[in-house]
Structure 1
Amino acid sequence: MYSLFFMFVSGLFVFCSFRKHLLIMLFSIEYLVICLFVLFYMILVLYSFDLSVILYYLVFSVCEGSLGLGVLVNMIRSHGNDLLMSLSILSW
């Protein structure tokens, strides 16, 4: 359980420290989703609940990942890189 907590905290650290690049942020969000999935699975197995709830969690996490990749592709096509600092409202 401590190793799972350490994994989650390290994912949060990466998410907060590399906030300039969208791709690295998407990777760290997916890492956090996987850590939460493992924690959620362990809790459900420990208390012997129904595991069908995990399917809903996975569906929403896949939708979140595909939405993030779509935003990344559109941003690279329009601006040429994934740096969040290159986005500006005045550049239109």
Structure 2
Amino acid sequence: MLMLNFVFFFMYFVGLYVFSSKRKHLLLMLLSLEFIVLSIFVNLFIYLSMFGYEYYFSMVFMVVSVCEGALGLSILVLMIRTHGNDYFQTFNVLW
């Protein structure tokens, strides 16, 4: 069981590393956020099944994470339509 927890913590920290290293590209940031949420969900699911709890909270967690993903994709589409790409470097702050 300890090895399984290590794998999910490794997945979480890899997602955090990608999120912090690809901070100029919005699509890669959204993908790494979804990877982090997926690793947290699997860890939560294993925790709940190990202690025999109900899975209702995991369903609520998945609903919230899907809403977060849909919001991120809508912001990505809006940025691509208005600016032409999703790099943060090309935006002018003074406009």
The TM-score, its normalising length taken from structure 1, stands at 0.94
Identity, in percent, stands at: 44
- The answer on 1:29 being equivalent to 2:29 is no
Q: What amino acid maps onto 2:53 in structure 1?
A: F
State the alpha-carbon separation in 2 of the partners of residues 23 and 33 from structure 1.
15
The aligned residue for residue 76 of structure 1 is: 80
TM superposition outliers: structure 1 runs of 4+ over 4 Å: none
State the alpha-carbon separation in 1 of the partners of residues 93 and 21 from structure 2.
24
Which of 52, 59, 68 is the aligned partner of 2:56?
Answer: 52
The aligned residue for residue 90 of structure 1 is: 94
- Deviation per CA, 1:31-54: give whole Å up to 9, x if none: 000000001001101111110111
State the alpha-carbon separation in 2 of the partners of residues 10 and 84 from structure 1.
22
Aligned-pair Cα RMSD in Å:
0.8
The aligned residue for residue 5 of structure 1 is: 9
> Which runs of 5 or more structure 2 residues have no equivalent in the other structure?
none
* Count of aligned positions: 91
- The answer on 1:67 being equivalent to 2:74 is no
State the alpha-carbon separation in 2 of the partners of residues 88 and 51 from structure 1.
46
SS of the counterpart of 2:94?
helix
